[in-house]
Amino acid sequence: DIQMTQSPSSLSASVGDRVTITCRASQSISSYLNWYQQKPGKAPKLLIYAASSLQSGVPSRFSGSGSGTDFTLTISSLQPEDFATYYCQQSYSTPDSTFGPGTKVDIK
C-alpha cells in the first residue's frame, strides 16, 4: 500500500501570507497526486489534480508542484476563506487511492 504523509499537521497564518504544505508518498507516484480543501462540516473540494493542474473555478492563488514522492501545495496570498484543512490524495494505485492525514490551516 502507498502511504501518504503531510507536513505540517497544522499551521497558523495571517491573511496575505504565503503558505506551503508538503505531501510525501512512500513510493514514487509520478504526478498522480490531487489536493482537496475541506471546511468544517462540509464535503471536500477538489483544488488541484495531476499534481499541478488547477481545477476549474479554483482561484489562481492555489498552485501545486512536484512529482515522484514529494509534492507541494502553495497558497500565494492567504484569504479569509482559505482557512480549512487540506488533504493530498494519491491516485497512482486507483481505485485504491489513499489520502494524506491532512493539514489544518488556521488564523494566527
Partner 1 sequence: EVQLVESGGGLVKPGGSLRLSCAASGFTFSSYSMNWVRQAPGKGLEWVSSISSSSSYIYYADSVKGRFTISRDNAKNSLYLQMNSLRAEDTAVYYCAREWVDYYDSSGYYYFDYWGQGTLVTVSS
Spell 69-100 as b/e; 16+ CB within 10 A means b. bebbbebeebeeebbbbbbbbbbbeeeeebeb
- Residue closer to partner 1, measured from CB, 32 or 71: 32
Q: What mask of x and - would describe binding to partner 1 in positions 51 to 70, judged by CB under 8 A?
A: --x-x---------------
Query: According to the binding rule CB under 8 A, does residue 37 interact with partner 1?
Result: no
Q: State how far the Cα of 38 lies from the Cα of 25, in Å rounded to an integer.
A: 21
Give me the residues that bind partner 1 (CB under 8 A), please: 30-32, 34, 36, 38, 42-46, 49-50, 53, 55, 87, 89, 91, 94-102
